[in-house]
Structure 1
């Protein structure tokens, strides 16, 4: 594997750009390839086997383009597919749940941690299992917030209706006396200020993107795969639908122009193949 090969990341849509942003900050010398499955977003209410199939298809797409490390920048896909993709590829594959869990453990002072995520992520109990593996003494409470992803994907973050939805869905967990809340979906940091308003300033919000990028940096360093070249980076973003919306939100979030290409999921046979349009 060449050290100047790109890092691959994927998510069900635009949420994984929160991880991209942190990779840009911590690893500015690296080139990235990103896939947002905007056609089939959200993943949070889908069947587990369907999510595994989607994750495998996209993982193959990125690995076949020569990435040196794969980041599952999606909590739902991490919860269902991480171990499968780690066994499938001979490159390092990391998710966002372990880094987020470690960050929450280190930040919590009262040892009471909340987790919000999609239905699949919450049902998997992946965060609670990982937190208790690292520190069994922590109290962990989880809450599914399935409407948050559509709010972000449809660029409705600032609407009053969306703010009411956030307040409604956080009503239960806000009574749990937690001091730390894991944003257990990479879309949720885009709603951070709305969530913080509901939870109050005493609750620390954990965005796993920072720890995930740090883990990627450590792995690349250990394997002598850090890119030390100073050549111009050609970051590529692939989506399965809604190019203009993805580009608009992505450029606003990342503060730079994005090279976005549409990928046609044109073959219904299994496993699916991809065609860049």
Structure 2
């Protein structure tokens, strides 16, 4: 048993989708979350810039003595995963490889769509990961940066959210897919609007779920789960406006035990 916390980072509030799944699957794990809203958005920054920001958060997690780090950000995974894995003394799990694997495990996956930030799509991170696993899969990519702002501003479930999703996903009208990867941790909060746009026959894949599955397997295989009877209190930090973090946590992490605070890195 290992009672040390797990560190989770994101550029903003999207990483709360990972915490939501962690709380469901691994409720006894203590979590330390950093939403780097002070440098939001990552999706329009250079890879070098994003890598340095992720390294700064990794160093913070090192000081917090975490037992594992999850990069709950597809953009940061593409830019910094290999560097963090080399420099951090704990295992680091990203979103992209688990997400690609999860998509190809679906019953219908001859054509796979990917929506993500401008940076993730520009670098073809998912397309490369998918083709490494299955060279024959058809991949349709679409940058959907405006959807990130919808989530960050608490506008999910609104007519504006539906309108923006419909506008951003029009490419799939002409190039339909069987499975769609939600290639940004903000996007699961818009799953209802996305499913409505694409139809029930399209399977949505949340890489956060696949990443948490990977984390759980590692913890079990290394006898590193926290089996304490009491549910721990997680610590949520924002490098920006903590009130925005509190609002998102109150909306998406109901019945969870957490505190919110500002963090200077």
| 5+ long unaligned stretches in structure 1 | 265-273
Answer whether contact 1:108 1:179 (CA < 8 A) is retained.
no
User: Matched residues in 2 for 1:108 and 1:45: separation?
Assistant: 34
User: Matched residues in 2 for 1:124 and 1:198: separation?
Assistant: 26
Q: Paired residue for 2:259? A: 259
Q: Paired residue for 2:134? A: 135
Q: Paired residue for 1:156? A: 155
**SS at 2:37's partner residue?**
coil
Structure 1 residue 247, shift from structure 2 partner: 1.0
**SS at 1:143's partner residue?**
strand
Identify which range, 108-117 or 72-81, moves more after superposition.
108-117
Q: Paired residue for 1:227? A: 226
User: Matched residues in 1 for 2:168 and 2:57: separation?
Assistant: 31
Q: Paired residue for 1:236? A: 235
Q: Paired residue for 2:93? A: 94
User: Matched residues in 2 for 1:162 and 1:172: separation?
Assistant: 17
Q: Deviations over 1:55-90 (max 9, x none)?
A: 011111112101000000000000110000000112
Instruction: Tell me the number of residue pairs that the alignment of Structure 1 and Structure 2 aligns.
Output: 264
User: Matched residues in 2 for 1:157 and 1:33: separation?
Assistant: 25
Q: Paired residue for 2:122? A: 123
Q: Paired residue for 1:167? A: 166
Structure 1 residue 227, shift from structure 2 partner: 1.3
Runs of 4+ in 1 over 4 A off after TM superposition: none
Identify which range, 182-191 or 244-253, moves more after superposition.
244-253
Q: Paired residue for 2:62? A: 63
User: Matched residues in 2 for 1:52 and 1:95: separation?
Assistant: 13
Structure 1 residue 204, shift from structure 2 partner: 0.8
Q: Paired residue for 1:267? A: none
User: Matched residues in 2 for 1:258 and 1:78: separation?
Assistant: 25
Q: Paired residue for 1:200? A: 199
TM-score (norm 1): 0.92
Query: Is residue 190 of structure 1 aligned with residue 189 of structure 2?
Result: yes
Q: Paired residue for 1:270? A: none
Structure 1 residue 132, shift from structure 2 partner: 1.1
Identify which range, 175-184 or 244-253, moves more after superposition.
244-253
| 5+ long unaligned stretches in structure 2 | none
Structure 1 residue 162, shift from structure 2 partner: 3.1
Q: Paired residue for 1:35? A: 34
Answer whether contact 1:79 1:97 (CA < 8 A) is retained.
yes
**SS at 2:69's partner residue?**
strand
